[in-house]
């Protein structure tokens, strides 16, 4: 049966070509009759007999050249009508000179031409339209109207039109669209999209649900039709709040680029609204050419390659065709996993995996000197705030001393650029983790200003990454799965959030900017994180996304601020404001500089103290000195004068 179907599909274009050519002959005869009436078989018999085969030949040539027969009648659309118009006009243009060469158009009535064009348009487009209508009606009738799930679409745009059209002609997806709500206030209420009414704005959702319920068309699901890249986080949170009293589930369409193929294959799956959609904002358009120019045909090394940020960096860098990608990770299993993923996704890529701890200066120096990378991305760090408070010496040795080890190795190997991944917790640090990252920032600034200038040191600072190890979102997901409660430290605590993929994209854009030599030495780049989100609001939204009601189905429990935790994080100091760059989504700031000799001597003492004990008095005193910003030197103003473009 399948073999017969394949053969039939193969001959369908030739049947369509034959149909169209026959219609051309019929159109010519009808046009002649409509122009001259019964005289077509008397006075005008000769031009009929001469012109009919010539016009069929002209039409066949035109249809062949324009590929008119290749279109699937099942999906005939306005674009196909445009192709038919072009084919008809080309057929007439071919016909006239051929007819002129035959008999110089003697006795041929010129008024036949516009009539012929109109008749042929009807004979070509009509069967296609009727075929599609019949197929749509048949497909739509395969599932009873009452058995289709009523849905309400959110967004009166291209996605809504595409979904309505797909559902009308595909029995494999049993949804019945009962209305559309616009997500932009454009006064479209009462207008229609393919006979489906636009019932108002999203804010009218409660009233619309009540009205549809009275009509017996109460929807069972809301479907967001706007692409995920265009979703506004605040609007999505508002929609979840409005839908929660009705117990609706909310889904969204896949990307429009995937939608058509999914519908054609009968495998369209609506995607659930996720936390990232609630926090989302319009995606920044990135300059991929600049990224490729930075990475292509260069050696790139990533520390902490098995972590959340390091792993995403590794994946995105692998797609930019480096000449060699070097992965450094101290965790054996994490390194194995990322190595397997890169080998599977990029089988032709030249890459290497090295087990190594950035705290081991000799090991890191050996790896970087042996590999001689062009760019080093330093993502390795201890990031879990409570654990860092309990183990300050370990955090110091990893985040501060480990960063110095990587930076010194990069300079010794004449690396073109080293990129340090930092955090908003380094601003006015109240925690050991934030403080050690600020010390690391300070060292990279100092080396960038006072170094031999063969190596550029770029620091990129941003806030929380959704789904990263130890972050709040995976914790809430586990607590939800266990039936609650969801634990929040304080009702007013808020944080900046960004997806891992977006953060890494912006990091790469920042580095491409810094790698080009633009900007001043010693500056820190800061990613625009948008507006901070209250953690308790995030918890409530996640409960609602699960179809539950906060404080009734799932409890939210406040546990109190942890040691070193702040209510609100900042991305820069008050006296060092963020300044825009020419890159969208990327800002810059210039924190207080510390001379290279001062920070080096301080790190030597800090390393000795950290090795002496977890909470030795000297270690805590040195950390307190750094927290009070007491590393500054009287030559500060002189240093600032040396901040000059590269």
Same domain, 165 and 41: no
Same domain, 592 and 578: yes
Q: Is the peptide bond before 494 cis (omega within 30 degrees of 0)?
A: no
Tokens for 14? Answer: 């030739």
- End of a domain among 273, 298, 313? 273
| Chain center to CA of 611 | 44
Closest Cα partner for 457 from 420, 413, 506? Answer: 420
Confidence of residue 634 (pLDDT cuts 50, 70, 90): very low
DSSP-assigned letters across all residues of 109-137: -TTHHHHHHHHHHHHHHHHHHHHHHHHHH
Element (H, E) at 403: helix 402-412
User: Is residue 396 a part of any domain in this protein?
Assistant: yes
Least reliable range by pLDDT among 11-15, 77-81, 327-331, 366-370: 77-81
**Alpha-carbon span 381 to 460, nearest angstrom:** 14
The predicted pLDDT at position 339 comes to 94
**Alpha-carbon span 527 to 540, nearest angstrom:** 27
Is 391's pLDDT higher than 80?
A: yes
- End of a domain among 88, 112, 140? 140
Same domain, 58 and 104: yes
Same domain, 233 and 267: yes
Strands 249-252 and 175-182, sheet pairing: unpaired
Confidence of residue 344 (pLDDT cuts 50, 70, 90): very high
User: Is residue 564 a part of any domain in this protein?
Assistant: yes
Same domain, 572 and 613: yes
Same domain, 309 and 217: no
- CA atoms lying within 13 Å on the CB side of residue 576: 18
- The answer to whether 535 touches 495, Cβ cutoff 8 Å, is yes
pLDDT digits (tens, 9 = 90+) for 587-628: 888 777 888 889 999 999 999 998 887 777 888 888 888 887
Residues of the chain with pLDDT > 90, as a percent, come to: 20
Same domain, 136 and 149: no
- Sign, CA torsion 37/38/41/45: negative
Cβ atoms < 10 Å from Cβ of 2:
6
pLDDT digits (tens, 9 = 90+) for 419-453: 999 988 888 888 899 999 999 999 999 998 886 66
**Alpha-carbon span 568 to 495, nearest angstrom:** 6
3-state secondary structure labels for all residues of 416-444: CEEEEEEEHHHCCCCCHHHHHHHHHHHHH
What average pLDDT does the segment 529-545 reach?
A: 82
The predicted pLDDT at position 73 comes to 53
The predicted pLDDT at position 565 comes to 80
Strands 192-193 and 196-201, sheet pairing: antiparallel
User: Is residue 608 a part of any domain in this protein?
Assistant: yes
What average pLDDT does the segment 270-296 reach?
A: 68
Backbone angles phi, psi at 266, to 5 degrees: 70, 25
User: Is residue 465 a part of any domain in this protein?
Assistant: yes
Residues annotated as catalytic are 425
Reduced to 3 states, what is the DSSP secondary structure of residue 200? Answer: strand
User: Is residue 607 a part of any domain in this protein?
Assistant: yes
The predicted pLDDT at position 645 comes to 37
Same domain, 556 and 417: yes
User: Is residue 68 a part of any domain in this protein?
Assistant: yes
Confidence of residue 352 (pLDDT cuts 50, 70, 90): very high
Confidence of residue 532 (pLDDT cuts 50, 70, 90): confident
**Alpha-carbon span 449 to 461, nearest angstrom:** 18
**Alpha-carbon span 62 to 459, nearest angstrom:** 62
Is 141's pLDDT higher than 80?
A: no
Tokens for 485? Answer: 């409660």
DSSP state at residue 398: I
Tally of domains within the chain: 3
Model pTM score: 0.68
Same domain, 98 and 242: no
The predicted pLDDT at position 324 comes to 94
User: Is residue 644 a part of any domain in this protein?
Assistant: no
Same domain, 217 and 303: no
Residues of the chain with pLDDT > 70, as a percent, come to: 80
**Alpha-carbon span 95 to 97, nearest angstrom:** 6
Average pLDDT of the chain is 79
Least reliable range by pLDDT among 40-44, 623-627, 635-639: 635-639
Q: Which residues pair with 149 in a beta bridge?
A: 175
238's CB contacts (< 8 A; 6+ apart) are 202
What CA–CA distances, in Å, run from 65 to 59, 91, 95, 313? 10, 10, 14, 48
The predicted pLDDT at position 636 comes to 43
What average pLDDT does the segment 532-559 reach?
A: 84
Is 519's pLDDT higher than 60?
A: no
What CA–CA distances, in Å, run from 124 to 135, 354, 605? 18, 66, 87
Same domain, 90 and 36: yes
The predicted pLDDT at position 643 comes to 41
Least reliable range by pLDDT among 170-174, 184-188, 320-324, 503-507: 170-174
Same domain, 103 and 159: no
**Alpha-carbon span 25 to 50, nearest angstrom:** 12
The predicted pLDDT at position 10 comes to 56
Confidence of residue 127 (pLDDT cuts 50, 70, 90): confident
User: Is residue 20 a part of any domain in this protein?
Assistant: yes
Confidence of residue 641 (pLDDT cuts 50, 70, 90): very low
**Alpha-carbon span 190 to 340, nearest angstrom:** 55
- Residues of the domain holding 195: 145-273
The predicted pLDDT at position 285 comes to 53
**CATH for 356:** 3.40.50.720
DSSP-assigned letters across all residues of 470-492: T-HHHHHHHHHHTT-PEEES-TT
Q: Is the peptide bond before 520 cis (omega within 30 degrees of 0)?
A: no
- End of a domain among 140, 157, 182? 140
The predicted pLDDT at position 472 comes to 80
> Between 203 and 336, where is the model more confident?
336
DSSP-H helix ranges across 535-595 = 535-545
Closest Cα partner for 494 from 441, 576, 428, 561? Answer: 561
Is 343's pLDDT higher than 50?
A: yes
């Amino acid at each position: 049966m399948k073999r017969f179907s394949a053969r039939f599909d193969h001959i369908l274009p030739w049947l369509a070509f034959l149909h169209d050519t026959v219609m051309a002959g019929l159109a010519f005869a009808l046009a002649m009759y409509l122009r001259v009436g019964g005289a077509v078989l008397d006075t005008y018999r000769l031009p009929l007999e001469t012109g009919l085969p010539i016009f069929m030949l002209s039409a066949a040539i035109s249809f062949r050249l324009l590929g008119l027969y290749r279109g699937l009648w099942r999906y005939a659309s306005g674009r196909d009508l445009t192709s038919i118009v072009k084919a008809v006009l080309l057929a007439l243009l071919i016909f006239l000179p051929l007819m002129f060469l035959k008999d110089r158009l003697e006795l041929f009535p010129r008024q036949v031409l516009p009539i012929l064009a109109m008749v042929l348009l009807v004979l070509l487009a009509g069967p296609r339209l009727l075929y599609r209508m019949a197929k749509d009606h048949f497909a739509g009738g395969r599932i009873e109207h009452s058995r289709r799930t009523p849905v309400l679409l959110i967004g009166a745009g291209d996605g809504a039109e595409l979904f309505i059209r797909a559902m009308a002609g595909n029995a494999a997806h049993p949804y019945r669209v009962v209305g559309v709500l616009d997500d932009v206030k454009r006064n479209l209420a009462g207008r229609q999209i393919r006979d489906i009414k636009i019932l108002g704005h999203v804010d009218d959702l409660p009233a619309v649900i009540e009205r549809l319920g009275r009509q017996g068309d109460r929807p069972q699901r809301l479907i967001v039709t706007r692409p995920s890249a265009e979703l506004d986080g605040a609007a999505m949170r508002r929609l979840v709040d409005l839908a929660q009293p009705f117990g609706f589930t909310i889904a969204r369409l896949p990307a429009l680029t995937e939608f058509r193929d999914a519908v054609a294959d009968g495998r369209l799956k609506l995607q659930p609204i996720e936390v990232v959609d609630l926090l989302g904002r319009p995606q920044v358009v990135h300059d991929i050419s600049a990224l490729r120019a930075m990475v292509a045909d260069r050696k790139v090394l990533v520390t902490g390659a098995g972590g959340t940020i390091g792993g995403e960096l590794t994946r995105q860098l692998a797609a930019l065709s480096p000449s060699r990608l070097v992965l450094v990770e101290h965790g054996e299993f994490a390194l194995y996993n990322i190595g397997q993923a890169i080998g599977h996704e990029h089988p032709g890529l030249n890459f290497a995996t090295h087990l190594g701890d950035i705290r081991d200066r000799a090991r890191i120096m050996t790896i970087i000197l042996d590999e001689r990378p062009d760019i080093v991305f330093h993502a390795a760090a201890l990031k879990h705030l409570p654990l860092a408070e309990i183990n300050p010496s370990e955090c110091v040795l990893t985040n501060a001393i480990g960063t110095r080890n990587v930076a010194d190795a990069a300079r010794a190997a004449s690396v073109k650029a080293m990129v340090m991944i930092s955090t908003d917790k380094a601003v006015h640090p109240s925690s050991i983790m934030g403080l050690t990252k600020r010390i690391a920032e300070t060292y990279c600034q100092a080396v960038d200003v006072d170094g031999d200038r063969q190596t550029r040191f770029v620091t990129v600072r941003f806030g929380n990454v959704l789904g990263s190890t130890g972050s709040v979102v995976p914790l809430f997901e586990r607590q939800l799965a266990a039936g609650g409660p969801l634990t929040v430290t304080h009702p007013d605590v808020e944080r900046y959030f960004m997806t891992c993929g977006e953060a890494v994209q912006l990091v790469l854009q920042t580095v491409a900017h810094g790698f080009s030599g633009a900007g001043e030495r010693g500056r820190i780049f800061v990613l625009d994180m948008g507006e901070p989100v209250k953690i308790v609001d995030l918890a409530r939204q996640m409960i609602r996304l699960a179809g539950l009601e906060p404080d009734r189905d799932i409890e939210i429990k406040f546990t109190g601020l942890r040691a070193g935790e702040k209510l609100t994080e900042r991305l820069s100091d008050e006296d060092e404001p963020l300044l825009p760059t020419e890159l969208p989504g990327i800002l810059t700031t210039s924190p207080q500089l510390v001379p290279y000799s001062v920070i080096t001597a301080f790190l030597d003492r800090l390393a000795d103290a950290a090795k002496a004990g977890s909470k030795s008095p000297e270690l805590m005193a040195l950390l307190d000195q750094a927290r009070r910003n007491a590393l500054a030197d009287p030559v500060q103003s002189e240093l600032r004068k040396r901040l000059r473009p590269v």
